[in-house]
Amino acid sequence: MPELPEVETVRRGLEPAMVGARFTKVDQRRADLRFPFPPRFPARLAGARVEALSRRAKYLVADLSTGESLIMHLGMTGRFTVEHAHGVITPGEFHYAPGTMPLHDHVVFDFDTGARVTYNDVRRFGYMDLVPSTGLAACKHFAGLGIEPLGNALSGETLAALFRGKIAPLKAALLDQRLIAGLGNIYVCEALHRAGLHPEAPAGIVATRTGRPRASAHRLAQEIRAVLNEAVAAGGSTLRDFAHADGSLGYFQHGFKVYDREGEPCAAPGCSGIVERIVQSGRSTFYCARCQPR
Ligand SMILES: [Zn+2]
């Protein structure tokens, strides 16, 4: 499943091909992906110019000159290929092996610049929708989503306010999409390790009784941002090198300090701990008991 940094990498790969370009033809090859396409999908896109391409949590959002926004979610195996005069790229492909079967090319966008953007999705958990650009925040996809972890909203103060009094484990609170949107298992494990916080500690420990941030809240906010930014930067490297790489693996996953490293020595400088694995809410948590004491 693509995590937020990968979606951001995909956004950066699509941006030069899509923004400022006008859809000339949309080839929709199925009635649905995970959900049905919106009615008259190709006709509503044809002729529209892409004004901006942004990201909200793990959604890509293309604002169109028609007053609608095209919302795209990659699901588990969705990916885009961009073909233009300079060659072919598949941005952001650093967690899963490429499936190059044209059978799974479900949507093809042609632009007036000559660029072609193809959406391929083997398992079809991805989806696309068109919603009015005004009131985007209230649309069914975004209503109820928590704060953006790479945005300015994430700080020690907001974490303290969100987690104050909560007895749910820190890991669970960080994965709660209603509080923080788009933060996945890998980056939560890494951020907690870097912040020196035990994944099973109650979330409320980062706040005082009155909801003020403790030092740990500031540290956690800073490490969430850092771990995501580093992953985006690594995705960018993959993107630049993509023409020469096989594309099946990126770099950042080799940089994990605890994730998927059960039984291996902790990678923190000077730490002699061993990475342990526990299961929380049915998902693996990796942590170092020395770096992250209870
Ligand atoms: Zn350690």
Collect residues with CB below 5 Å from ion ligand 1: 266, 268, 271, 273, 288, 290-291
What pLDDT score does 253 carry?
53
pLDDT band at 78 (very low <50, low <70, confident <90, very high): confident
> What does the pLDDT average to over 131-149?
95
- Over residues 146-171, the pLDDT tens digits come to 999 998 899 999 999 999 999 999 99
Structure tokens at 37: 């396409």
Residue 247 has pLDDT above 50, yes or no: no
Q: How many residues does this entry show for the chain? A: 294
Query: Active site includes 2?
Result: yes
Instruction: Name the active-site residue from 3, 6, 93, 190.
Output: 3
- 8 Å CB contact between 131 and 39: no
Give the residue, 8 or 247, on which the prediction is more confident: 8
CA–CA distances in Å: residue 90 to residues 5, 34, 77, 254, 286: 15, 21, 13, 20, 30
Going from the Cα of 159 to the center of ligand 1, the distance in angstroms, rounded, reads 24
Instruction: Name the active-site residue from 22, 124, 283, 290.
Output: 283
What pLDDT score does 35 carry?
97
Query: Active site includes 83?
Result: no
Give the residue, 278 or 246, on which the prediction is more confident: 278
Structure tokens at 156: 């020690």
Going from the Cα of 273 to the center of ligand 1, the distance in angstroms, rounded, reads 5
Going from the Cα of 240 to the center of ligand 1, the distance in angstroms, rounded, reads 33
CA distance 41 to 37: 7
Going from the Cα of 193 to the center of ligand 1, the distance in angstroms, rounded, reads 8
pLDDT band at 180 (very low <50, low <70, confident <90, very high): very high
Query: Active site includes 58?
Result: yes
Query: Active site includes 283?
Result: yes
Q: pLDDT exceeding 90 applies to what percent of the chain?
A: 70
pLDDT band at 273 (very low <50, low <70, confident <90, very high): very high
Whole-number average pLDDT of the chain: 89
This prediction has a pTM of 0.87
